[in-house]
Amino acid sequence: MLAENLAYLLLAVVVISALYLAIKLANIWRAESDEVPNSASPANETAATPPTIGGSKPRADKIRILFLAANPKETPPLSLGEEVRAIDDALLRAAHRDLFEMEQQWAVRLSDLQAHLLRYSPDIVHFSGHGTTANEIILENEHGESQPVSAALLSQLFSLLRDNIRCVVLSACYSARQADAIGDSIDCVVGMNDAMSDSAAIAFSASFYQALAYGRSVGTAFALGANQIDLASLPQSHTPHLIDKRAVADQTCFVEPSRAHHAPDDAG
């Protein structure tokens, strides 16, 4: 009987020791697991925040171009589709094509402008359409007819919604006055100081955005755009006008210098 009791006691000691060892190993494993960095931790979320590009808000890596077009039904037809196609082709051929994206809005109304700028928060705004000798650009109303927009209205709008916008291009006849007004709020603005043919507008725009997507500054891109008009044997190379009131166009690049100097080999 005594031997049987001793056997039960020994068995109980073994079971208790095994349970104690199991609990201790579990605690060690839990402590080590707590030390493994959590990929969803606030610190890592902060580290993954996209860089700020030319504005006060965190931005995605891509540089966003917002292409706005208007050609009211009673106005002469413009080659707007050819212009946006030329810009897109120029971006696709450039070394840093993957850093740029273009959003398009057509038949733009005055009532649309706020919504488009808020929705897309662009880095570059490009308007293509008609302008008048009264220093207005022509948008559309709800009937598809002309809606003139004054320089004062445009200036006020861009002063309120400039956010990340670093460049505005007004590819419209007689738009230099509007460009000058917008230049009170936006660093680099391009306008036209005279009438501009479709061919010249397309040549300028394609060369301008190609240069930006190769990492060149706005100042250089503007000069290359004007030069491309000459190369196309068109007589309007002096029509584009760059507003650069803060003298920053030659330093304003949309591709970081370190990336611009290490362009991909297969840019074609």
| pTM, full prediction | 0.76
The pLDDT tens digits of the residues spanning 80-139 come to 999 999 999 999 999 999 999 999 999 999 999 999 999 999 999 999 999 999 999 999
Residue 26 resides in a domain: no
Q: How many domains does the chain have?
A: 1
For tokens 């990336």, what's the residue?
A: 259
Residue 163 to residue 123: CA distance in whole angstroms: 9
What range defines the domain where residue 146 resides? 63-260
Residue 21 resides in a domain: no
Residue 176 resides in a domain: yes
The pLDDT tens digits of the residues spanning 197-227 come to 999 999 999 999 999 999 999 999 999 999 9
User: Is the pLDDT at 28 greater than 60, yes or no?
Assistant: no
Query: What CATH number is attached to the domain comprising 111?
Result: 3.40.50.1460
Type of residue found at 86: A
Please state whether beta strands 146-150 and 100-105 pair in parallel, antiparallel, or not at all (unpaired): unpaired
Residue 126 to residue 96: CA distance in whole angstroms: 19
Residue 11 resides in a domain: no
**Residue 146 phi, psi (nearest 5):** -65, 135
Residue 36 resides in a domain: no
Residue 164 resides in a domain: yes
Residue 37 resides in a domain: no
Beta bridge partners of 188: 167
Residue 137 to residue 127: CA distance in whole angstroms: 9
User: Is the pLDDT at 41 greater than 50, yes or no?
Assistant: no
Residue 191 resides in a domain: yes
Give the pLDDT band (50/70/90) at residue 45.
very low
Kindly state the average pLDDT of the residues 40-44: 38
